[in-house]
Structure 1
Amino acid sequence: MDYNFVHGCIRVLDLEKSIKFYKDALNLEISREKDFPENEFTLVYMKRPNGNFELELTYNYDREKPYTIGDGYSHFAVKVDDLEASYQKHKEAGYKVGDIKSLNEKSSGYYFLTDPDGYRIEIIQR
């Protein structure tokens, strides 16, 4: 049996701020939107151009407090061709980024980028 990931979902406090972050920081585009006013929530799906996996941003109307992310080390991961250039781009944009690290001298470098809601994205050298 073959399983293909379709999307991952995160809940966001400020939908426009999150859309802007994912467009600017990771070059994602809105692939589709669904609004459910009767249930007071909106879904915005974002993905890479020509990509298959979507990130679902779930926005619940009138939410005032940020969501609790949890104390685990949960995160999404993406690969990039030029880790240093990506790191500089994110730092210059004023995003919250960790230091570039590596598990050992033989492994690829990586750093963590944090979105407006506190979700972490691991950026890994391809």
Structure 2
Amino acid sequence: MRILHTMLRVSDLEKAISFYTDMLGMRLLRRRDYPEGKFTLAFLGYGEEAQESVLELTHNWEVTSYDLGTGFGHIAIGVDDVYAACDRIKSKGGHVLREPGPMKHTNSVLAFIEDPDGYRIELLNTP
């Protein structure tokens, strides 16, 4: 067993795809419109779906915004250098919620950023 994907509902699909590809380095793996259902699915990731977990972005054509709720926490992405990643994201107009630095009571170095729909993404230094 393995996790196949995590799904997020997004209000502006092009803006969301641009964020995840340009700022976080994912690739758009596949995209399909479902006119009869009035929605589009886009799958993004760092590797192929057959081997890696990916991110599914769902765009419902007639919805302009979502309530993020209180149950969702964040997506975590490992990076080589959290400080450099945040600098790159800020230079492209991205929003850093928590500047890079050590997590209290641990040796982990992390930061939090926000995607165009307000979803939180944790960036963690990985060896």
The amino acid of 1:25's aligned partner reads M
SS in 1 for 2:99: coil
- Note the C-alpha offset of 1:102: 2.1
User: Per the alignment, in what secondary structure is the counterpart of residue 9 of structure 1?
Assistant: strand
Shift of 1:48: 0.7
Give the superposition deviation at 1:106: 4.4
CA distance, structure 1, for counterparts of residue 119 and residue 102 of structure 2: 21
Partner of residue 86, structure 1: 85
Superposition misfits of 4+ residues, deviation over 4 angstroms: none
2:75 partner letter:
F
2:113 is aligned to 113
Alignment of 1:15-94 (within 5 A): 15-50=13-48, 52-64=52-64, 66-72=65-71, 74-94=73-93
Gaps spanning 5+ residues in structure 1: where?
none
Q: Which has the higher strand share?
A: 2
CA distance in 2, matches of 1:120, 1:56: 15
* SS of equivalent to 1:8: strand
How many residue pairs get matched?
Answer: 123
Identity %: 37
Q: Give the distance between the partners of 2:111 and 2:12, measured in 1 at CA.
A: 25
Question: What is the alpha-carbon distance in structure 2 between the residues aligned to residue 103 and residue 110 of structure 1?
Answer: 7
**Using a 3 Å threshold, how does the CA distance of structure 1 residues 37 and 96 change in structure 2: closer, same or farther?**
same
Q: CA RMSD in A?
A: 1.6
Residue 71 of structure 1 and its aligned partner are, at CA, apart by 2.7
Q: SS where residue 121 of structure 2 aligns?
A: strand
For 1:116, the aligned partner's letter is P
The whole-number CA distance in structure 2 between the counterparts of 1:105 and 1:12 is: 34
Aligned-residue offset at 1:104: 3.5
Residue 35 of structure 1: CA displacement? 1.6
